[in-house]
Structure 1
């Protein structure tokens, strides 16, 4: 466990040795589900990376406080900066999927300077339009016990049940995530890979996001938003991009 800026304890999972790469998982998930279970972390470790995988606040084995003050604006980006500082990382790569990609972008805007950046499961509209996305998940939490198959929220509720999500903490967290406006993306100057499933439109257009960034490439893998993280192609794409020279 690593204490964050406010002493909230964050569980940090590690694998391998070598160049540090920080992986940030998606909403309602955790490091085990997003990065370890389907072999992505192992592929990076085998390629010579030290893989560092926190469970985000209110997720996995990390603390999930129920107090509003534990969820200030941009709390996940603040956690990312605090974690990099606590671990003494000064030359590292940063990868995020979905909420983790949104967090990675916010952390860079807030001053984090990874060598390379990967934004996965994320499009341009998803970074700027968090309010609508957040409202969808808050509604799923509020109607948790009444959502049936066929309801638009069914998959979200099913995943929360599978992951045993602390719904009180998750609801507070959802209200703390900040939007990223297109002009703020000018801060993302490092080589970046925008990585997305070919059937994933959950967070808008990934190709448009790549076009907006200063030094980005778009890479497509099979899958929807939920299934793309189960594809071996995700881990392969991470290894190829992060192992290459420091130009996108």
Structure 2
């Protein structure tokens, strides 16, 4: 990753079981912890299209880990390194290690799933943003995971026109470690609609107007005690490139 931001700092902190997690930080002020999506990394989701810069300019500190098996973080091939909800365990370790107390929590896709399950497990951010997410993406994860496991299994066979083509293309672009990715996919826990009642802080469900990859954002809003919906242009893949994503984050987190 090329550092084109003069105030970007990168450090390594221990996650669950001591796994190295790369954490990128930009700006100063109230911390915002940003969790990227599957097969992506902090740079792709948060820095490349200016969202972290926009948050930093608005007076926040953007804290952006590369999740386990992604980016510059550890990609172990030992199945023991991927217990159920290992990303949530990493999240708890990260919050403790860097001493976060009053902070906001933002996720995109897999990051939203991790953020929601972290709150259900006891994290207490001031505000929460679940982007690229609908109800079925939380409550029906096993079906979603099966799609990506199939894409990994057929990686070298998938051609244009195959439903898995864009997933495989993105994995190639990101140089995904498929062994680590497969282990990680099997570790992600499912979420029941009843568990969502534990997410009581103000929550923004932020979704591309043409993004229903993870189900219905409207149903997710209905299932949460204190949530509202904001839509921005784009599909699941293209919405992260929209400046509106960063603008909506700043608007909601500045309230």
- State the TM bucket, normalised to the shorter chain: over 0.9
Give me the whole-angstrom Cα distance separating, in 1, the residues matched to 2:121 and 2:92.
Answer: 8
TM-score (norm. length: structure 1): 0.98
1:148 equivalent in alignment to 2:176? no
> Does structure 1 conserve the Cα–Cα contact (< 8 Å) formed by 2:30 and 2:61?
yes
Kept in 1: contact 2:209–2:231 (CA 8 A): yes
Alignment of 1:155-170 (within 5 A): 155-170=166-181
Aligned to 1:81: 92
Q: Which whole-Å CA distance do the structure 1 matches of 2:136 and 2:153 have between them?
A: 25
Q: What does 1:155-234 correspond to in 2, within 5 Å?
A: 155-234=166-245
The reply on whether 1:7 has 2:18 as its aligned counterpart is: yes
CA–CA distance in structure 2, aligned partners of residues 207 and 241 of structure 1? 18
Partner of 2:144 in structure 1? 133
What runs of 5+ residues in structure 2 fail to find an aligned partner? 1-11
Tell me the residue number matched to 2:7.
none
Distance in 2, Cα, partners of 1:196 & 1:44: 18
What SS class does the counterpart of residue 6 from structure 1 fall into? helix
* Ranges in structure 1 where 5+ consecutive residues have no aligned partner: none
- Which runs of structure 2 are paired with 1:90-105 in the superposition (5 Å)? 90-105=101-116
Q: Give the superposition deviation at 1:207.
A: 1.1
Q: Which residue of 2 aligns with 1:51?
A: 62
| CA positional deviation for 1:5 | 2.4
Secondary structure in 2 matching 1:11 = strand
SS of residue paired to 1:217? strand
Root-mean-square deviation (CA, aligned residues, Å) is 0.4
Question: Would you say how many aligned residue pairs link Structure 1 and Structure 2?
Answer: 244
